[in-house]
């Protein structure tokens, strides 16, 4: 071990488990790539103000969790705590919304940083795959995103997850509800922090996990009773489209995802095997965000799925992904001449797409065969002086143990044939 350890709240992805993370990212992004979403990558840090405005001054993310710093040049930056604000900023900067092809559909994958209290499923560095559909108001688009996330989780084999769905209203009906909720909350016994939250972000109080708060919330005005006709109709269409697609969901009035810019559809994916860090992903419509960061009105919807928690969900359900062995063929040279010849065969196999590895460092036969078995390879390619003198190499099937001599010139072809 070195003197150093991974910083608190972080962990390294190392083989072989790291292959699962790659496979999860791939499984989440595959349905997006197949549905018109283009890949976008933005910097790992942004102007801190983008997040203050784009995530919301009153959110935990901005007030407590952001890694903000000043550069030597005096710029105020922050490591990105989430993806939506950056992606929208980049889309606006590149004028993607002006190309006459709305919605702009984008997907991303990367690292995010939040200064949180580390615990299982909650880290200071974590990984998300996300999708945003920018510039169109259409319930089919909200439904599409939810269906694609459901498809991704199912493709991974996950079953014990649920989709929670709610509507937060729009700029017509939400303020009326907000005022009514504030009136109600101001009559409760709340600590100072929570009272401040009532002033700046009252919906977030509904999401408070503490028993003392929750039991006072019975009888709070319900958003559902305040939704305007347009929001009700919109939400009903999202629900119908999901039902028609066979995607089960639960209506959850308490689901607020308290960012000020969230409007109408909000949803969360929760997994029942994860204890208190149960959200594996979430998202919703954010019709006001573009204007909040200085852009034109661009109604949009998106989600982000947590890769780390998805991996934990797989573990909770006892699912081992079917990940092909990294190596198909392992070459074992015995002696200098064999080393030169087999290295040539290895290079040829690799160039033709066969995953091949080589016993480096002049290992003896026994050690080299151990490495071959550990690599997960189907075939070992063994050659010593005598084989070479006869113009052959030994091809050993590591599953059956069967060994055959193959002419050197024909071995690459024979391997490709055996592996199919
Ligand atoms: P939570 O309520 O658990 O804090 P959140 O609402 O802050 O989640 P989002 O901002 O919606 O989470 O992020 C989307 C997804 O990213 C979450 O559902 C979760 O899977 C993952 N995620 C968020 N924060 C973390 C973290 N600190 N560590 C690991 N995964 C995280
Ligand atoms: Mg959080």
User: Taking the alpha carbons of 59, 61, 65, 68 in that order, is the dihedral positive or negative?
Assistant: negative
Which of 164, 208, 304, 313 has most ligand 1 atoms within 8 Å of its beta carbon, as the pocket-test mutant?
A: 304
Q: What are the angstrom distances between the C-alpha of 412 and each of 44, 143, 327, 350, 399?
A: 44, 49, 15, 10, 19
pLDDT for residue 200 = 86
* Ramachandran quadrant class, 271 (left: phi over 0; alpha: psi -120 to 50; beta: rest): beta
Nearest CA to ligand 1 atom 23: 306
pLDDT for residue 260 = 67
pLDDT for residue 258 = 59
Nearest CA to ligand 1 atom 8: 279
pLDDT for residue 254 = 82
CB of 126 shorter than 6 A to ligand 1: yes
How many helical (H) and strand (E) elements, i.e. helices and strands, does the chain have? 16, 16
This prediction has a pTM of: 0.93
pLDDT for residue 17 = 93
Tokens 């710093």, located at residue: 69
Ligand 1 atom at shortest distance from the alpha carbon of 124: 27
pLDDT for residue 56 = 84
CB of 56 shorter than 6 A to ligand 1: no
Q: Quick check: 144 and 35 in contact, CB under 8 A?
A: yes
CB of 348 shorter than 6 A to ligand 1: no
Helix, strand, coil share of the chain (percent; to 5): 40, 20, 40
Q: Which domains does the chain have, with CATH numbers?
A: 17-173+227-316 (3.30.930.10), 329-419 (3.40.50.800)
pLDDT for residue 197 = 87
Tokens 């690459």, located at residue: 412
Rg (C-alpha) for the chain, rounded Å, is 27
Spans of the chain, pLDDT less than 70:
258-260
Nearest Cα to Cα of residue 164 among 149, 185, 180, 182: 149
Nearest CA to ligand 1 atom 28: 122
Nearest CA to ligand 1 atom 29: 122
Residue 257 phi, psi dihedral angles, 5° rounding: 40, 75
CB of 267 shorter than 6 A to ligand 1: no
């Amino acid at each position: 071990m070195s003197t150093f350890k991974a910083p608190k709240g972080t962990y390294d992805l190392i083989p072989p488990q790291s292959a699962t993370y790659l496979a999860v990212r791939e499984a989440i992004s595959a349905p997006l790539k197949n549905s018109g979403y283009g890949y976008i990558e933005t910097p790992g840090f942004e102007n801190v103000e983008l997040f203050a405005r784009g995530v919301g001054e009153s959110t935990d993310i901005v007030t407590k969790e952001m890694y903000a710093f000043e550069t030597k040049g005096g710029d105020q930056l922050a490591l990105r705590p989430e993806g939506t604000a950056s992606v929208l900023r980049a889309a606006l900067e590149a004028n993607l919304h002006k190309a006459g092809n709305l919605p702009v559909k984008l997907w991303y994958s990367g690292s995010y940083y939040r200064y949180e209290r580390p615990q299982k499923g909650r880290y200071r560095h974590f990984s998300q795959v996300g999708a945003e559909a920018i510039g169109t108001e259409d319930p089919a688009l909200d439904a599409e995103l939810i269906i694609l996330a459901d498809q991704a989780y199912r493709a991974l084999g996950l079953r014990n997850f649920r989709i929670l769905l709610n509507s937060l209203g729009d700029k017509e009906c939400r303020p009326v509800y907000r005022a009514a909720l504030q009136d109600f909350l101001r009559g409760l016994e709340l600590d100072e922090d929570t009272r401040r939250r009532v002033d700046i972000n009252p919906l977030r109080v509904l999401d408070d996990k503490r028993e003392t708060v929750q039991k006072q919330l019975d009888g709070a005005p319900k958003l559902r009773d305040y939704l305007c006709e347009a929001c009700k109709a919109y939400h009903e269409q999202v629900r119908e489209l999901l039902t028609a697609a066979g995607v089960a969901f639960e209506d959850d009035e308490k689901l607020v995802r308290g960012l000020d810019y969230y409007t109408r559809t909000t949803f969360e994916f929760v997994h029942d095997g994860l204890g208190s860090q149960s959200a594996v992903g979430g998202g919703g419509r954010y019709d006001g965000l573009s204007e909040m960061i200085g852009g034109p009105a661009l109604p949009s919807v998106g989600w982000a799925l947590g890769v780390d928690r998805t991996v934990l969900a797989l573990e909770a359900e006892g699912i081992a992904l079917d990940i092909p062995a990294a190596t198909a063929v392992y070459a074992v040279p015995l002696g200098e001449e064999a080393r030169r010849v087999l290295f040539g065969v290895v290079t040829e196999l690799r160039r033709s797409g066969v995953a091949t590895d080589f016993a480096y460092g002049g290992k003896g036969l026994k050690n080299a065969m151990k490495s071959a078995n550990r690599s997960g390879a189907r075939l070992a390619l063994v050659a010593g002086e005598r084989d070479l003198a006869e113009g052959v190499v030994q091809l050993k099937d590591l599953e059956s143990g069967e060994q055959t001599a193959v002419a050197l010139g024909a071995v690459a072809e024979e391997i490709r044939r055996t592996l199919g």
